[in-house]
Structure 1
Amino acid sequence: MTIVRLGYVAMSVELQNASPSQTMTFAQFEKIKDREAAIRKLERIAISNLENSLRLLKHNAGNQIHFFRLSSRLIPLANHQDLLDWDYITPLMDTLRKLANYIKEHLARIDFHPDHFVVLNTPDKEILRNSLKTLAMHKALLKGMEIDTEHRCVLHVGGGYNDKEKALELFIHNWAYISPSIQKMIMLENDDTTFTVKDTLYLCEKLGVPMVFDYHHHLANHEENDWVTDWERIVATWSHSPLPVKMHISSPRSEKDFRAHADTIDPQMFLDFLHQIKGTVPEIHCMIEAKQKDAALFQLAKDLQGNEGVTWIDQSSFIIE
């Protein structure tokens, strides 16, 4: 038997007016003649995003959801080259403490998935520098929320650059330039176009990084269709983590548009996965990556009701036997 906990990504389709990703472009920033006034506006947007994140966490607690991915767009323009003198964390500390208190009270697993422009195997030093700045922002937010930073940021391996083997070695080369505190935050995920489960496992095992298995990505991009033979190795990458194994679940929008995410999760596809791995880990956290966000989670829970071998613990957690 294995305990399964469901989570969802960044925002709710059920909770109105609670976007955690409100933003301001740099062009809009420049139109405000008073620079200090423009910065204060950025701070108000960031505070609003954090307050909406707290609303989302309360929504999750009310629905017994214990696992959530925060938006990576909480602080607009945080790393813009013309705003490097902006101390964006200090004005947010009161709101971050409210989040910290709520997270501690409700024991939620919180993490991030920084945007695709965070690339650690890049040959471009400026892109690497900006990627590390973005990860440092995530670290500052985690610390402000008093969350242990270990294994909280999921990343893809990066670009293939027309030579996948070289790209993998470039990741290892660049890893040496990354501070241990940032290294400690990172988990790696197999992607749907370039780096397969085996590619990602190669890096995770070599660098001591947990691997987040994305089932849908594997179906879209694999060397061998049988992922089960690698499951034991995937689980082993989590052996030094304080957190349970994490995976991503989504369903193809269609056969023609296979890589795109559907609105909801195919329950049979998910059950097929769970029946393959049940008993191999005591607990697994499954992040739903579906267009309908929390509504997809509620629908999946409804679809799984009454299935043989599924015993519900609460509204988003069950035992698979």
Structure 2
Amino acid sequence: MSEDALPSPKRRRQAKRPDESVVYDIPPVESKTTTWRGRLGFACLNTVLRAMKPEPVFCSRTCRIDTILKNGLDFAKNLGKRNALDLLELVKWNEKNKHICSIRFMRVSSEMFPFASHKVYGYSLDYAAAELKAVGDLANSLGHRLTSHPGQFTQLGSPKEDVVAASVRELKYHVSMFELMGIGRDGVIIIHMGGMYGDKQVTLERFKSNYQRLPQDIKDRLVLENDEMCYNVDDLLPVCEELMIPIVFDYHHDWIYPSSEPPERLLPRINATWQTKGIRPKQHLSSPRPGALTVMQRRAHAARCPELPAALDVEDAGWWRAADGSVQYVDLMVEAKDKEQAVFELHRMYALADVVLENLRPARPDPGFAGEARDGAASPRKRRSRRKGAPAHRRNLSCNVR
């Protein structure tokens, strides 16, 4: 959300639900079973808090460079501090129903501090050290896991030195956030390999060379994720095993661009890339929108997830037995449009946790694909938009699925 003119937050007003008299019709869910008892998490935004009135609670306030030029860099830094204050509120909300429906796993928005990694307008996060420490202290005391996922422009395999340099600055910014929070090694930073740039193997070698030059604090947190267009697990696993880089396994991406083996066969090797570094493995779950036919349509995430992956019930894939005999579970990030509501629905479906009905909301309708070409081609208007406006580093993401 861009905000060109936000007042300084002199005093926060108590947020209230839009209408306390609203009674939501929450339908029952189909009961399903699983032996998995790990943590479910959501990414970046809480839909209940985002809808609060008179002041929403969220962590992605940002602005444009024109606004910085007009109002000064302190405007962007002020937005960052407000985002950090609201991140604390998100952690509190996730925990406030302790032992009932608490959520102890969340992705931190990459837009927490606007332009902090910019070559010209970048800045240190030390000015928000107190706010970040408060978040980390609370998360650590409650056993919450916080991770991050920089945007698709973060590409260490790019042939362009300026793109690689910008990627390193972005990774340093994320490391700085976690260090100021005091978050341990489970606070990982996830990226994709990115574009193939005409030659996948050459790009992989270039990534390996660039990775070796990274500062150790970035290496300690960096994680790769299989994607749905360019690099599946078959492509990434040899590189990650060689460099000791953990892999986030994304079920949705693997469904679109499958690897040579099913998840329950791949995940023991994938989990080993985490365990070698003493980090709890995490996976990503999302579902395609109903009616998706083409590759481009199948990439779009649905509002909810209808089920948990069967691989979670398989030893060494969804859980493992530690040296002391205790059972340990992977963490599962739910990348659904309904955010925490998708988590609550899975809690109810599998009896993973009791829920507070007042926190439940009806599922948002999944938009269909009416009017889109059945071969996945963009409309003429969209094609013109891409020709005119797509920046070079985003055009390079175009890849072919085999």
Structure 1 counterpart of 2:306:
266
What whole-Å deviation, never above 9, does each CA across 1:50-83 have from its counterpart, x for those lacking one? 0111111111112411111100111111122322
Letter in 2 for 1:153: I
- Asked if the contact 1:246–1:287 (Cα under 8 Å) also holds between the matched residues in 2, the reply is yes
How far is 1:145 from its partner? 0.4
Distance change (3 Å), C-alpha of 1:271 and 1:192: closer
Distance change (3 Å), C-alpha of 1:271 and 1:206: closer
Structure 2 counterpart of 1:308:
none
Distance change (3 Å), C-alpha of 1:151 and 1:162: farther
Distance 1:58 1:80 in 2: 31
Structure 2 counterpart of 1:127:
163
What whole-Å deviation, never above 9, does each CA across 1:118-164 have from its counterpart, x for those lacking one? 11111111111111111111111111101125661011112111221
Q: How does 1:213-232 map to 2 (within 5 A)?
A: 213-224=249-260, 226-232=262-268
Structure 1 counterpart of 2:335:
289
Structure 2 counterpart of 1:301:
347
Partner secondary structure for residue 59 of structure 1: helix
Q: How does 1:1-321 map to 2 (within 5 A)?
A: 2-15=36-49, 16=52, 17-32=56-71, 38-62=72-96, 63-84=101-122, 86=123, 88-149=124-185, 152-224=188-260, 226-254=262-290, 255-256=292-293, 257-267=297-307, 270-276=308-314, 277-280=317-320, 282-305=328-351, 312=352
Letter in 2 for 1:71: S
Partner secondary structure for residue 232 of structure 1: helix
Distance 2:206 2:62 in 1: 33
Aligned length: 301
How far is 1:104 from its partner? 2.3
RMSD between aligned alpha carbons? 1.9
Distance 1:54 1:189 in 2: 27
- Asked if the contact 1:64–1:314 (Cα under 8 Å) also holds between the matched residues in 2, the reply is no
TM-score (norm 2): 0.71
Distance 1:150 1:158 in 2: 23
Unpaired runs of 5+ residues, structure 1, are 33-37, 306-311, 317-321
Partner secondary structure for residue 270 of structure 2: helix
Partner secondary structure for residue 18 of structure 1: coil
How far is 1:249 from its partner? 0.4
Distance change (3 Å), C-alpha of 1:111 and 1:314: farther
Distance 2:160 2:260 in 1: 32
- Asked if the contact 1:151–1:184 (Cα under 8 Å) also holds between the matched residues in 2, the reply is no
- Asked if the contact 1:151–1:186 (Cα under 8 Å) also holds between the matched residues in 2, the reply is no
How far is 1:101 from its partner? 2.0
- Structure having the higher helix fraction is 1
- Asked if the contact 1:96–1:145 (Cα under 8 Å) also holds between the matched residues in 2, the reply is yes
TM-score (norm 1): 0.88
Letter in 1 for 2:143: L
Distance change (3 Å), C-alpha of 1:51 and 1:227: same
Identity of aligned residues (%): 28
Distance 2:304 2:344 in 1: 10
- Asked if the contact 1:21–1:71 (Cα under 8 Å) also holds between the matched residues in 2, the reply is yes
More deviation in 196-205 or 222-231? 222-231
Q: Greater relative contact order: 1 or 2 (C-alpha under 8 angstroms, separation 6 or more)?
A: 1
How far is 1:27 from its partner? 1.0
Letter in 1 for 2:299: R
Partner secondary structure for residue 73 of structure 1: coil
Distance 1:204 1:14 in 2: 38
Letter in 2 for 1:49: N
Partner secondary structure for residue 114 of structure 1: coil
- Asked if the contact 2:186–2:280 (Cα under 8 Å) also holds between the matched residues in 1, the reply is no
- Asked if the contact 1:139–1:149 (Cα under 8 Å) also holds between the matched residues in 2, the reply is no
Letter in 1 for 2:301: H
Structure with the greater alpha carbon radius of gyration: 2
More deviation in 181-190 or 75-84? 75-84
How far is 1:21 from its partner? 0.4
How far is 1:40 from its partner? 2.1
Unpaired runs of 5+ residues, structure 2, are 1-34, 322-327, 357-402
Distance 2:168 2:151 in 1: 12
Partner secondary structure for residue 187 of structure 1: strand
- Asked if the contact 2:118–2:169 (Cα under 8 Å) also holds between the matched residues in 1, the reply is no
What whole-Å deviation, never above 9, does each CA across 1:1-54 have from its counterpart, x for those lacking one? 54321000001011121120001110111123xxxxx22222211111001111
- Asked if the contact 1:72–1:113 (Cα under 8 Å) also holds between the matched residues in 2, the reply is yes
